[in-house]
């Protein structure tokens, strides 16, 4: 097991290094000099040179890559070109919106998908199954930002249950924050819930066809008992994998939903930075999102190995 963890950890480290190289290289292609951009068109060449030195832009590409990566390891993401403030602080502030939103959406998606998937599997071929599967087909096809707009129209503008956008900040109270994130989380959760419900159903149906289920039934357990005691527990493995993968996609997907609700999260930060050509912020946010995906994959693999010992041998 230790060997497996070490091997996976090594592959995690390599993935992160290569990903950071790719991101750095792509951003390097960008035309223009950030220092000249920050100082405007009337800047003197020696002022630009001084700022270049201050930002470390006069170093070689390799040096800059190493200091960027080295800084990130200790939590120093550099200084924003546009705001002259530490990128780590800017990202930290925004994470307090994006991360709770992703967690909230994941919770909602799980709460919706589990009962729906279990119900559909237990009613296979009946009307309930067809209805749930039809609803998930639709759920997968609905763009979440469109659904978000419709939610705003109904629940914020017509019914006035929620505000149409914005975020009051967590210091105004936990429930105010949760309320502001509710519509965005619902919009974000819907397509994910549809996918998760389909996975839950098919995984459960696979399990219900297994021999040990027949044994349990032969032993005298009712259908309901076999489903809850035996099938569900085993069906959870693929479901947990999908939940893990969804988390990182929710974090990235939140970028679009934040635009609909004017939430001050990572998404808005990234778009502001693109238009301000604040590439160091873009670079760091992208690295953070990719890091989240790679880390979650790693954790899912480890959980897999803990749950299913057969997988440890295969690396």
Residues binding another protein (CB under 8 A): 14-15, 18-19, 22-23, 26-27, 29-30, 137-138, 140-143, 145-146, 149-150, 152-153, 157, 248-249, 252-253, 255-256, 259-260, 267, 270-271, 273-274, 279, 282, 285-286, 289-290, 293-294, 297
18 vs 111 by CB, closer to another protein: 18
DSSP class of 295: H
Provide, rounded to whole angstroms, the least separation between the CB of residue 142 and another protein: 6
79 vs 176 by CB, closer to another protein: 79
Provide, rounded to whole angstroms, the least separation between the CB of residue 190 and another protein: 12
Provide, rounded to whole angstroms, the least separation between the CB of residue 27 and another protein: 7
Provide, rounded to whole angstroms, the least separation between the CB of residue 147 and another protein: 8
Residue 101 and residue 254 in contact, taking contact as beta carbons nearer than 8 Å: yes
Chain centroid to CA 179 = 21
Provide, rounded to whole angstroms, the least separation between the CB of residue 270 and another protein: 6
184 vs 253 by CB, closer to another protein: 253
1 vs 138 by CB, closer to another protein: 138
Longest CA–CA span in the chain (Å) reads 87
15 vs 236 by CB, closer to another protein: 15
Nearest Cα residue to 162 out of 193, 185, 139: 185
Long-range pairs for 11-18 at CB < 8 Å and ≥24 separation? 12/294, 12/295, 12/298, 15/294, 16/291, 16/294, 17/69
How many residues in total does the chain contain? 315
Residue 106 and residue 250 in contact, taking contact as beta carbons nearer than 8 Å: yes
């Amino acid at each position: 097991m230790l060997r497996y963890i070490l091997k996976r950890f090594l592959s995690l480290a390599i993935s992160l290094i290569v990903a950071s190289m790719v991101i750095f290289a792509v951003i390097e292609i960008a035309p223009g000099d950030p220092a000249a951009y920050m100082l405007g068109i009337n800047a003197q060449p020696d002022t630009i040179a001084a700022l270049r030195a201050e930002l470390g832009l006069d170093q070689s590409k390799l040096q800059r890559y190493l200091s960027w990566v080295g800084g990130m390891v200790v939590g120093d993401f550099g200084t924003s070109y546009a705001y002259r403030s530490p990128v780590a602080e800017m990202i930290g502030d925004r994470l307090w919106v994006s991360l709770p939103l992703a967690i909230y959406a994941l919770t909602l998606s799980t709460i919706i998908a589990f009962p729906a998937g279990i119900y559909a599997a237990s009613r296979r071929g009946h009307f309930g199954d067809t209805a749930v599967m039809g609803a998930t087909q639709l759920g997968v096809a609905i763009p979440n930002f469109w659904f978000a707009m419709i939610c705003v129209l109904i629940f914020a503008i017509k019914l006035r249950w929620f505000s149409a956008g914005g975020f009051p900040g967590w210091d105004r109270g936990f429930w105010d924050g949760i309320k502001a994130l509710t519509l965005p989380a619902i919009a974000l959760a819907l397509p994910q819930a549809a996918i998760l419900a389909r996975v839950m159903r098919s995984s459960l149906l696979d399990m219900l066809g297994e021999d040990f289920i027949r044994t349990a039934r032969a032993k005298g357990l009712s259908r309901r008992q076999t489903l809850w005691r035996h099938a569900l527990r085993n069906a959870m493995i693929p479901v947990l994998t999908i939940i893990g993968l969804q988390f990182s996609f929710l974090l990235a997907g939140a970028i679009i939903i934040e635009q609909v609700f004017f939430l001050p999260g990572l998404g808005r930060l990234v778009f502001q930075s693109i238009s301000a050509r604040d590439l160091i912020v873009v670079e760091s946010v992208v690295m953070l999102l990719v890091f989240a995906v790679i880390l979650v994959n790693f954790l899912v693999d480890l959980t897999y190995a803990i749950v299913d010992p057969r997988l440890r041998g295969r690396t």
